[in-house]
A = this chain, B = another copy of it.
Amino acid sequence: MTSDKPLRADAQRKREALLATAREVFDAGDFFDLRFDDFARLAGVGTGTLYRHFPTREALAEAVYHGEIAALCDRARRLQATLPAEEALATFLRGMVDHIDAHQGLARTLATLMADRSGALAEGSRALEQAVTDLVAAAVRDGAVRDDVGAGAVMMALHGIGAAHDRPNWRAEADGIVTLLLDGLRSPHSAQAATVSSPARTRCDTRSHAAGEGSG
């Protein structure tokens, strides 16, 4: 995505070594505890090489994250092809929680990356977002899911699940938020939602939310 110039064979090898090392560290959740130079040492390459391939720690993280994302997207596609839309969406979200739960290090790393203002992850996340958008859209087409709340809200919830990874009761809460999300999506357009859009009472000085939020 970022670049497609064919790498020289040895350069490719070094790059792989770095990625492999990073992946391990990433999974162990030590990604941000390690000196950046050490990725080079651990991979058996020079610092210059590390910096050429991955100019920042975040760039390296993104590259690792890339593979994860691809796998998740794949799974989304498979689910969509084999299950009814609503079930596909539910299964996907439940699976996400499982995945994060199984890779604690990942969660921790993602949390940090999400907070990162450079938006190193934005790029990589786009694909994931597309997958979620597709799942939701299909469910909407099926009439199984309301159409006034976009997939963005779901993404935001996923952010929260990742960001809150160190809460003591994480798993239960993550399951809980997914349940709320799914049940919320299955609700018809709520009167309350409409209520809110009459801002006079509460506050909501400007924006009428729930209005044109179908966009991306």
Q: State which of B98, B173, B209 has its C-beta within 8 Å of the C-beta of A98.
A: B209
CB-CB under 8 A for A114 and B111, given A152-B173, A182-B192: yes
Contact status A183-B190, CB under 8 Å: yes
A83 to B173, CA, bound (A): 27
- Could you tell me which residues of chain A, from 193 to 214, have a CB within 8 Å of some CB in chain B? 193, 195-197, 202-207, 209-214
Check if A176 sits within 8 Å of B203, measured CB to CB: no
On whether A159 and B163 interact (CB within 8 A), knowing A168-B216, A172-B215, A207-B99, the answer reads yes
Give the residue of B74, B181, B202 whose beta carbon is less than 8 angstroms from that of A184. Answer: B181
Interface contact A213-B91, CB-CB below 8 Å: yes
A7 at the interface (CB under 8 A from B): no
Residue A117 at the chain B interface, CB threshold 8 Å: yes
The verdict on A68 contacting chain B, using a C-beta distance below 8 Å, is no
Q: Say if the beta carbon of A138 comes within 8 Å of chain B.
A: no
Interchain nearest-CB distance for A162 vs B (Å): 8
